[in-house]
Structure 1
Amino acid sequence: MTEYHVITRERHGHQHWLSQSGHRFAADDALCALVAQELPQAMLSLPIGFIVEAEQFMPVALQGLTPGQNLWVAADGRWLAAYIPAPYRCYPFRMAPTEQGEQVLCIDEASGLLSESAGEPFFNDDGTPGKAVLEILEFFNQIEANRQLTRSMCAVLQQHGLIQPWPITVQGEHGEQKVEGLFRIDEAALNALSAEALSEVRNAGGLTMAYCQLLSMQHLSTLGTLAQAHAEAEKARLAQESMAQKGELHLGFMNDSGTFSFGQ
């Protein structure tokens, strides 16, 4: 359970924070919002789609086949893909809107990463924000600025009819599973654009976004593989617990880190 609070001198003036050591905090996220700037890297390891957000399309990383499960997070908190979405690299921080509509920096006080002495200070002795906090705030500002550009790109793609529903069926732990509510680039419509329309899409940056999404679809089958691996690991864990209760202990199914692993 997260517990975000706005960072203030009154509340955090004498506190410190520690860097995250894993990604268990993201274990329930089946989707993660992306911005255009990170798509060229994200497409190399994550399947990307679009969702409707406030009547606009926005790109997301597909991380699970069912709500509440992120298949890219291993049981020990390791992130299993080569690319980590930008929001996860800022944890335990996030930006949140105030009642006045302003964005403020918050921290998850239930993260276990706050400290009275160890780690980075929130504020300097003179009451000014610490260097690391300012760097995180700047990173979030860059993400937000790029989010506005991302919305503009998606609007151009939508304007030219290049985004269509994406019916997904993958082989999961219980056989074929359907994932609904996602959208993808209509490749046929993209190839049929007039020279004028293609130029407009390209100048808006939409062409790069379109190809990133199309190329990322090759990773979709990996989610099915991960789902099966997670299910097998959970069965092994339950069997382990059952044997332990009976006074038996077999650890052969585990690797050196005490959890399952995936080939990379």
Structure 2
Amino acid sequence: MTDTTAASPLQGNVLFYAQPEPLSLEVHGALGVDAVDKPYAFVAQTNLVPVMVTEFAPAALSYPVIFVGENKQPVAVMALRGGENLFVSEDGEFRPEAYIPAYVRRYPFVFANDDAQQRMILCVDRAAPFIKEGGSTPLFVDGQPSPYTQQAMEFCNNFEQERLRTEAFLKLLTDMDLLDTREAVFTPRNPDGTAAAPQKIAEYYAVSEDKLKALPAKKLAELRDNGALGQIYAHLVSLLGWDRLIALAFQKAAAAQPAAGNA
């Protein structure tokens, strides 16, 4: 098992997007979307998916929610190593009980900055396999964005607001110096049942419970009143999910063994 943060694909802000293009009637007027039963194959090789602060509580029911990289990006951990996902099948189906982050649900649309015009531009990933010429749900109708595209634009607008809210939350954690490095450790068993040497499976940033307890009452009240304290507790509770990830990894390895033996 490898260090989770070392395998992070979160460089830049276009994870999953292979060919993002500014959406326009001239270029994309004939395109549409075909419904897909299992549309999330693009997530199947990604172990870390960004989450917004307001998603911490629902995401915590499925994944560890940790902070990674120089910018302390909050992410849901979906596998113990890069290049795989224990919650998404290769053909693109999420486990039915798993929370699907908004970062995934907004695909294939995304906002990009137009620095020259100081505005946001809606882009679409032209490489998305379910976007096709003459797709059943058009992107444009009568020369105007279709209801589907308008809904996507509203979702991306809301996502942008949540992204700004998440940045403010991270600034709060940084200003209060609440984040520390932490390790996720697994202790395997020897054949005789005794504990073997512990193995580090990830290193990441998390809120320090000791630092949180040491805050002055006024600062704790500030976190409580602005809603940040609830998000912090959701993050801390989510860290219990490392055991679930380890169990899923062993299940996947065990399921693959018979196939390897018959090869």
Q: TM-score, normalised by structure 2?
A: 0.80
2:75 is matched with which residue? 60
Query: 1:174-193: per-residue Cα shift (whole Å, max 9, x none)?
Result: x935212x111111221222
Looking at structure 2, the residues matched to 112 and 106 of structure 1 have their Cα atoms a distance apart, in angstroms, of 16
Query: 1:118-155: per-residue Cα shift (whole Å, max 9, x none)?
Result: 32111111x11111111111111111111111111221
Gaps of 5+ in 1: 243-264
Aligned-residue offset at 1:207: 0.6
Q: Percent identity?
A: 30
Aligned-residue offset at 1:69: 1.9
1:205 aligns with 2:227: yes
2:240 is matched with which residue? 218
1:72 aligns with 2:94: no
Looking at structure 2, the residues matched to 230 and 7 of structure 1 have their Cα atoms a distance apart, in angstroms, of 40
Say which is worse superposed, 1-10 or 133-142, in terms of deviation.
Answer: 1-10
2:174 alignment partner, SS class: helix
1:261 is matched with which residue? none
1:138 alignment partner, SS class: helix
- The answer as to whether partners of 2:64 and 2:242 remain within 8 angstroms in 1 is yes
- The answer as to whether partners of 1:153 and 1:204 remain within 8 angstroms in 2 is no
1:128 is matched with which residue? 144
Aligned-residue offset at 1:90: 2.2
1:94 alignment partner, SS class: strand
What aligned pairs does 1:59-208 form with structure 2 within 5 A after superposition? 59-80=74-95, 81-98=97-114, 100=116, 102-125=119-142, 127-170=143-186, 176-180=199-203, 182-208=204-230
Change (3 A) 1:134 1:171: farther
Gaps of 5+ in 2: 1-15, 189-197
Change (3 A) 1:225 1:75: farther
2:37 is matched with which residue? 21
1:232 is matched with which residue? 254
1:193 alignment partner, SS class: coil
Query: 1:36-83: per-residue Cα shift (whole Å, max 9, x none)?
Result: 222221112221011245xx4332111121222222112342212421
1:166 alignment partner, SS class: strand
Letter in 2 for 1:179: A
Looking at structure 2, the residues matched to 217 and 5 of structure 1 have their Cα atoms a distance apart, in angstroms, of 37
Looking at structure 2, the residues matched to 144 and 9 of structure 1 have their Cα atoms a distance apart, in angstroms, of 23
Looking at structure 1, the residues matched to 123 and 75 of structure 2 have their Cα atoms a distance apart, in angstroms, of 23
Aligned-residue offset at 1:235: 3.4
Letter in 1 for 2:62: S
- The answer as to whether partners of 1:35 and 1:147 remain within 8 angstroms in 2 is yes
Letter in 1 for 2:146: G
Looking at structure 2, the residues matched to 118 and 171 of structure 1 have their Cα atoms a distance apart, in angstroms, of 51
- The answer as to whether partners of 1:71 and 1:226 remain within 8 angstroms in 2 is yes
1:262 is matched with which residue? none
- The answer as to whether partners of 1:57 and 1:151 remain within 8 angstroms in 2 is no
1:199 alignment partner, SS class: helix
1:209 alignment partner, SS class: helix
Q: Report how many aligned residue pairs link the two structures.
A: 235
Looking at structure 1, the residues matched to 79 and 181 of structure 2 have their Cα atoms a distance apart, in angstroms, of 18
- The answer as to whether partners of 1:18 and 1:114 remain within 8 angstroms in 2 is yes
- The answer as to whether partners of 1:50 and 1:57 remain within 8 angstroms in 2 is yes
Looking at structure 2, the residues matched to 140 and 201 of structure 1 have their Cα atoms a distance apart, in angstroms, of 27
Change (3 A) 1:236 1:24: farther
1:167 alignment partner, SS class: strand
